[in-house]
Structure 1
């Protein structure tokens, strides 16, 4: 049985670092050899700092996959859709590698990132390094609980991980959409709590869905509830904060590429049953979007030997 990357379905942590890397020309063979070493590196640190709950994810960009692994490609692994609704631009960018390190100790994450970058010295260049953190009791800068509608327990694995019956080679892997969004906090705070709850579709304190009579057809929650089971995804989100901007770093995981596309189209108001774009998007600007596939550890290890 394929060994999936534990960071995909792991419980939330207090901190996370996101490394967006581009490979230098001609380094594919060395990268194939070194990518599975990341899980070994994280395992060693996890044993040494057991209280940190350290996990990680390695994902390969849709644009880079065939260069790195020319003999096999996940079904329907495509670039992030270049869609636009009104003035909302998704800003798709081709990124070769995404490495996520999560833990309850920021110092342990720092050690892990330093060792990972040392491992890949001379093979990649850092496009960006982003830092996320847990805010209050799992909320984002809207003040609302983040993703209270997320799949839980065993459903996570069904939603996020490729089934062996569908794609034996890529079983235990996951399709990934990455988005870095800035948030207009000043405009949001000019709204009353009732107006904010109408946009979100659920109660600000408890996270419980508003009664049907109160639900706006394009509320954030309504755009999710209107999806069918084939479009269910697992979301990992963390706020980020800098002096001049703040927002959210969001990872969407799914067992199929189609689920991610359906979810995105629904949120943008482009699907057949959509009533319009998610109202929450009016308060966000996408800084970067990218598509990846996070293969199983078993695939990474086997490919390093080929």
Structure 2
């Protein structure tokens, strides 16, 4: 049975750290070995700092996957969709790898990143090092509770992890969209609470939906309801970030279905039959975005051992995965 990376469905932590990397040319063979060792490294740290609840995610981008694992490509792995509407535009960035570390201790995150960096530094260039933090009781910097419609309990696994019946090779894996959402905080804070709640579609204090008479079909909540009603299941693992100049959210969306993200962005940007877009985007912009696949621990280890038949090719229906 495939073992998923624990950071996908883990509950919220206090601190998050992210490394975005580009692989150096010709490093694929050694990187397959090093990426398979990362979960072992992090498991040791997790046992040593058991109170920190340390988890991690190792993800490979849509454009680098065929270089690193050329024998088989996840069926739904596509580049971050470059959609443009009258109100907003989204374009993708070029990053090969993303490594996410989350825990309840910032010092443990630092130790983990240092050890990860020492393991892979000879094979990659670091593009970005980012950090997020828990804000109040799980809120974004808008002041509102983040992702009130997020799946809970076992539904988190159903939304995020690929089932073995769907793909034996990629069972336990997950499609990941990552983007940095910048909040234009000054005009947002000039709005009254009632105006903010109209845009969000739910109350600021308790995250309950606003009254039907006040509900706006262009609200943030309405867009998410429409996405879910269309059958697109997404698990969000977002964290706020802030510097003196910039603030916003580091958005990580996991799904067992690679097509879910196109449905999500079409709805938010108003590229749907109704033409209703997410009004929260009036106060936001995206400056960094990429699509990844998060393979199972079993897949990482098997790839490092070479447990794939040479006859498989990118784009084939299924490869012969040797347990």
Would you call these one fold, judging by a TM-score over 0.5? Answer: yes
CA 1:179–1:263 in 2, change beyond 3 Å: closer, same or farther?
A: same
Partners of 2:235 and 2:148 in 1: how far apart? 11
- Cα shift at 1:229: 5.2
Q: TM-score, normalized by length of structure 1?
A: 0.98
Aligned to 1:82: 82
CA distance in 2, matches of 1:240, 1:136: 13
> What is the alpha-carbon distance in structure 1 between the residues aligned to residue 233 and residue 43 of structure 2?
30
Q: Secondary structure at the match of 2:57?
A: strand
Instruction: Give runs of aligned pairs for residues 1-306 of structure 1, distance below 5 A.
Output: 1-227=1-227, 228=229, 230-272=231-273, 274-306=274-306
CA contact under 8 A between 2:102 and 2:109: conserved in structure 1? yes
Paired residues, number:
305
TM-score calculated relative to the size of structure 2: 0.93
Contact 1:79 1:94 in 2 (8 A): no
State the alpha-carbon separation in 2 of the partners of residues 225 and 88 from structure 1. 20
Between the aligned partners of 1:232 and 1:280, the Cα distance in structure 2 is 21
Give the CA deviation at 1:247: 0.5
1:254-284 deviations in Å (ceiling 9; x for gaps): 0011112111211111133x44220000111
Distance 2:276 2:226 in 1: 12
Q: Secondary structure, in 3 states, of the residue corresponding to 1:261? A: helix
Stretches of structure 2 that go unaligned for 5 or more consecutive residues are 307-323
- 4+ long deviations beyond 4 Å: none
Q: Deviations over 1:37-95 (max 9, x none)?
A: 11111100000000000000000000000000000110021111111112522131121
Change in Cα spacing, 1:182 to 1:270, as seen in structure 2 (3 Å) is: same
Return the alpha-carbon distance in structure 1 between the equivalents of residues 135 and 212 of structure 2: 29
The residue matched to 1:109 in structure 2 has which SS?
A: helix
> Whole-Å Cα distance in 2 between the matches of residues 111 and 38 of structure 1?
13
Q: CA RMSD in A?
A: 0.9
What stretches of structure 1 of length at least 5 have no aligned partner? none
